[in-house]
Amino acid sequence: GQNIDQPTEMTATEGAIVQINCTYQTSGFNGLFWYQQHAGEAPTFLSYNVLDGLEEKGRFSSFLSRSKGYSYLLLKELQMKDSASYLCVVLDSNYQLIWGAGTKLIIKP
Amino acid sequence: GAVVSQHPSRVICKSGTSVKIECRSLDFQATTMFWYRQFPKQSLMLMATSNEGSKATYEQGVEKDKFLINHASLTLSTLTVTSAHPEDSSFYICSAALRQGSDNSPLHFGNGTRLTVT
């Protein structure tokens, strides 16, 4: 079967760094997305990885290891507005989206 | 950047009526559009995948006769909730992808439609 695992909830302090991990087992692989979603809103695209390695974009970075079926989203200099759910999504060989359940990130002052 | 327009943003309808939700890709041709439903405090659930000019592929458990999807052009897909019932009240979101050979473009999401069936 197809499966995406990520922690249900994480807590971090404002100004700190947090890493959200995601492991996946899917039928083929056409890329991995990270999305941010605030309550009541549509998800917002953060990153897309299809090759191994680290992609840095401002305070957010995303890493992928295809051989390990593993990715992480790194958030630096955390701000209160970063409190949201972070969704790990894999595009399989049929371009079907396989969604993780999301990680709720709570930022404390 | 690419934009997906979803309309309406909110709709209230009476039980037994049908509601149509439109999803348009404004500045790119979307060969594939996805329809999602979000229940409160839960992740997005993929309902169906539609490819332009062909029948939509529905996820297990989604009634294709109840949730009619039409993807007649490369810029427009519609979701019609037929004979709506209060349990259909939810947040429906569409997204569009440009699928071109090995070009794996990010998905672009609409702003969602909040459906309330009374």
Task: Name the one residue in this structure whose structure tokens are 């947090």.
Answer: A18
Distance of CA A67 to the CA centre of its chain: 18
Mean pLDDT along residues B9-33 = 90
Opening angle at CA A2, ends A65 and B54, nearest 5: 110
Beta carbons of A95 and B44 less than 8 Å apart? no
Instruction: Name the residue with higher pLDDT: B32 or A61.
Output: A61
Residue type, A3: N
Distance of CA B50 to the CA centre of its chain: 9
Q: What is the pLDDT of residues B62-101, one digit of tens each?
A: 999 999 999 888 889 999 999 999 999 998 989 887 654 4
Beta carbons of B44 and A101 less than 8 Å apart? no
Residues B92 and B45: their CA atoms lie apart, in Å, by 10
Beta carbons of B112 and A48 less than 8 Å apart? no
Q: Chain B: residue nearest A100 by CA?
A: B43
Q: In sequence order, what DSSP letters do the residues of A48-85 get, joined into one string? A: EE-SSEEEEETTEEEEEETTTTEEEEEE-S--GGG-EE
Beta carbons of B32 and A95 less than 8 Å apart? yes
- First vs last C-alpha separation in chain B: 37
Closest CA to B79 of B10, B9, B18: B18
Phi and psi for B18 in degrees, rounded to 5?
-110, 150
Nearest to A33 among B45, B99, B106 (CB): B106
Best residue in A50, A66, A99 for a mutation probing chain B (most B CBs within 10 Å): A99
Distance of CA B70 to the CA centre of its chain: 10
Closest CA to A46 of A24, A17, A71, A68: A71
Closest CA to B86 of B40, B39, B38, B118: B118
Beta carbons of B106 and A87 less than 8 Å apart? no
pLDDT of residue B86: 95
Residues of B numbered 4-43 whose beta carbons fall under 8 angstroms of chain A's beta carbons: which are they?
A: 32, 34, 43
pLDDT of residue B105: 57
**In A53-92, which residue ranges form alpha helices assigned H by DSSP?**
none
Q: Report the DSSP beta bridge partners of residue B44.
A: B38
Closest CA to A47 of A67, A32, A26: A32
B8: cis peptide before it, omega within 30°? yes
pLDDT of B49 higher than 80: yes
pLDDT of residue B18: 97
Beta carbons of A30 and B34 less than 8 Å apart? no
Q: What is the pLDDT of residues A44-100, one digit of tens each?
A: 878 888 889 999 989 999 999 999 999 999 999 999 999 999 999 987 776 667 888
Q: Chain B: residue nearest A46 by CA?
A: B106
pLDDT of residue B83: 96
Task: Name the one residue in this structure whose structure tokens are 């039980």.
Answer: B15
Instruction: Name the residue with higher pLDDT: B8 or A40.
Output: B8
